[in-house]
């Protein structure tokens, strides 16, 4: 039974809590050794099994938190408009001008004075939105996913275009940004803009931007879309919110409709068939008597999608469980019926919701990212995160192997939260040659981001 909601005062910032893995170089990866093989992994890179305070933010009012289902790095914005980042940084996705991993949150000096109001992380790139409607992006840009209008030739020994510090995107009037694996979406004055890798049709302009790179044989590559372009088919409506999964996109408009496009594998687009869509298509379930409310939650995971329907019911579709069946169209999540969900987030296969005076988490967790504590790691079905029960949680955010919570400073369980800070604040950056070798060895495999070989077999193909 859901606890009764309590009236909340205007948001003035809160306390960031973190749970999950801290060995960012290895989260979501299997096998192999790293330079840390001689260290005591348990003491230096623990799994934080319950929501934990990070010392960096002891005297900071955090206004928002962010990550992404393909991200192994995190963001937090404070009341002064500063943006902090930490986590994996092999492609410069932290924005600090280098490849050094940060195990302790660090302020992005390049965005001083910009007043950041939102951010998002892809697999190896990141983007932020500022109060004045500008957007900045950084990290890998080989597909144009940073939206700067150009993909520069790689400088040896690197094999890709990498932007190490925040660079202005070619958009204006931005209010939200969402990053997929290798593409980016922006809402600009109620319109959706996209840039990056057009595979599966995620650019939304009616084509997948593929071409054959060889005359004598077949080698399919994808054109880099470096200049953000408007998504076809949404010009007649005002878009309120977008969400990016690994390789699919969601949007809701001011008319109560929900749209999806991109990779149709596992039914993640909600159209009852496993077919890619190269431009937005309305999801039939959210029509007539089941229109999407203007304050709906919207979220996309590795192979799953979520949206609020009538009476605040959270609907889900796609593949939510590793060994479960595909849900080909939106259905209400029975375990969330009756809850007033205010924030929802997806990792590759984990999920978190802030509702009433509770936090609800579930999924295939491996690093304690559900926050249940030492006696329970995973949950196939939605379950209360007991350490956060009984107080207001403003926002949740998920990434690969971790979950962030932004709770009210008056939360009754805060005094119970442990505190942690890594004893290794900054990891020495690998040599560029090692980074190039890692990329050639398979750094861009879908498996590393949680969509394994089964995903490749099940991906929808566009009907001829």
Confidence of residue 172 (pLDDT cuts 50, 70, 90): very high
Distances (CA, A) of 160 to 140, 142, 143, 151, 247: 7, 6, 9, 9, 20
Phi and psi (nearest 5°) for 345? -145, 150
CA 317, CA 320: separation in Å to the nearest integer? Answer: 8
Question: Is 460's pLDDT higher than 70?
Answer: no
Question: Is 158's pLDDT higher than 60?
Answer: yes
Question: Is 443's pLDDT higher than 50?
Answer: no
Joined together, the tokens standing for residue 193 give: 């803009």
CA 144, CA 107: separation in Å to the nearest integer? Answer: 25
What end-to-end distance do the CA atoms of the chain give, in Å?
49
**Residue 46: its pLDDT value, please?**
96
**Residue 351: its pLDDT value, please?**
98
Question: Is 96's pLDDT higher than 90?
Answer: yes
| Dihedral angle sign, alpha carbons of residues 353, 354, 357, 361 | positive
Ordered by where they begin, the domains of the chain are 17-28+35-456 (2.130.10.30)
**Residue 35: its pLDDT value, please?**
52
Question: Is 4's pLDDT higher than 80?
Answer: no
Question: Is 193's pLDDT higher than 60?
Answer: yes
13 torsion bin: left (phi>0), alpha (psi -120 to 50), beta (else): left
**Residue 31: its pLDDT value, please?**
61
> CB-based burial of residue 303 (10 Å sphere; 0-12 exposed, 13-18 middle, 19+ buried)?
buried
Poorest-confidence range of 37-46, 239-248, 283-292? 37-46
356 versus 454: the higher-pLDDT residue is 356
Poorest-confidence range of 6-20, 57-71, 172-186, 318-332? 6-20
148-177: average pLDDT: 94
**Residue 463: its pLDDT value, please?**
36
Confidence of residue 160 (pLDDT cuts 50, 70, 90): very high
45-70: average pLDDT: 97
**Residue 456: its pLDDT value, please?**
35
275, 463 Cβ separation under 8 angstroms: yes
Question: What secondary structure letter does DSSP report for 458?
Answer: H
Joined together, the tokens standing for residue 30 give: 């299997």
Poorest-confidence range of 37-51, 102-116, 154-168, 180-194? 37-51
Confidence of residue 72 (pLDDT cuts 50, 70, 90): very high
365-386: average pLDDT: 94
405-426: average pLDDT: 96
Whether the link from the prior residue into 431 is cis, omega within 30° of 0, is: no
CA 188, CA 182: separation in Å to the nearest integer? Answer: 20
| Dihedral angle sign, alpha carbons of residues 12, 15, 19, 21 | positive
**Residue 430: its pLDDT value, please?**
66
Phi and psi (nearest 5°) for 148? -90, -5
pLDDT, mean over the chain: 90
Query: What residues contact residue 190 under an 8 Å CB cut-off, 6+ apart?
Result: 237, 238, 239, 240, 254
**Residue 218: its pLDDT value, please?**
87
**Residue 455: its pLDDT value, please?**
38
| pLDDT tens per residue across span 277-311 | 999 999 999 998 999 999 999 999 999 999 999 99
Question: Is 438's pLDDT higher than 70?
Answer: no
148-159: average pLDDT: 90
């Amino acid at each position: 039974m859901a606890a009764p909601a309590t009236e909340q005062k205007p948001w003035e910032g809160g306390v960031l809590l973190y749970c999950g893995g801290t060995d960012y170089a290895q989260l979501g990866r299997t096998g192999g050794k790293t330079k840390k093989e001689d260290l005591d992994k348990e003491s230096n890179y623990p799994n934080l099994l319950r929501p934990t305070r990070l010392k960096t933010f002891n005297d900071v009012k955090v206004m928002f938190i962010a990550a992404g289902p393909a991200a192994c790095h995190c963001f937090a914005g404070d009341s002064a408009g500063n943006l902090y980042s930490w986590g994996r940084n092999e492609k410069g996705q932290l924005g600090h001008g280098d490849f050094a991993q940060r195990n302790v949150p660090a302020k992005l000096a390049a965005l001083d004075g910009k007043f950041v109001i939102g951010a998002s992380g892809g697999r190896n790139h990141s983007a932020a939105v500022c109060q004045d409607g500008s957007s900045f992006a950084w990290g890998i840009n080989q597909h144009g996913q940073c939206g700067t209008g150009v993909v520069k030739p790689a400088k040896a020994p690197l094999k890709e275009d990498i932007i190490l510090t925040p660079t202005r995107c070619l958009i204006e009037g931005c209010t939200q940004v969402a990053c997929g694996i290798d593409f980016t979406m922006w809402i600009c004055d109620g319109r959706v803009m996209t840039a990056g890798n057009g595979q599966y049709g995620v650019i939304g302009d009616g084509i997948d931007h593929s071409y054959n790179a060889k005359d004598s044989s077949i080698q399919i590559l994808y054109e880099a879309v470096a200049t953000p372009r408007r998504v076809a088919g949404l010009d007649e409506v005002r878009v309120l919110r977008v969400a990016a999964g690994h390789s699919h996109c969601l949007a809701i408009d001011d008319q109560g409709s929900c749209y999806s496009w991109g990779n149709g594998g596992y039914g993640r687009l909600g159209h009852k068939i496993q077919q890619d869509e190269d431009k937005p298509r309305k999801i039939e379930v959210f029509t007539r008597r089941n229109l999407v409310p203007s304050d709906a939650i919207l979220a996309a995971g590795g192979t799953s999608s979520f949206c609020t329907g009538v009476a605040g019911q959270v609907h889900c579709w796609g593949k939510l469980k590793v060994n479960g069946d595909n849900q080909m169209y939106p259905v209400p999540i029975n375990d969330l019926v009756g809850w007033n969900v205010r924030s929802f987030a997806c990792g590759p296969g984990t999920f978190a919701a802030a509702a009433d005076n509770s936090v609800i988490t579930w999924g295939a967790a491996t690093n304690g990212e559900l926050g249940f504590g030492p006696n329970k790691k995973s949950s196939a079905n939605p379950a209360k995160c007991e350490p956060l029960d009984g107080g207001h949680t403003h926002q949740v955010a998920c990434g690969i192997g971790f979950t962030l919570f932004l709770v009210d400073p008056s939360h009754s369980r805060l005094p119970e939260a442990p505190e942690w800070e890594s004893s290794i604040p900054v990891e020495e950056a690998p040599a560029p040659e090692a980074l190039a070798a890692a990329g050639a060895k398979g750094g861009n495999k879908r498996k590393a981001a949680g969509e394994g070989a089964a995903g490749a077999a099940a991906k929808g193909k566009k009907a001829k």
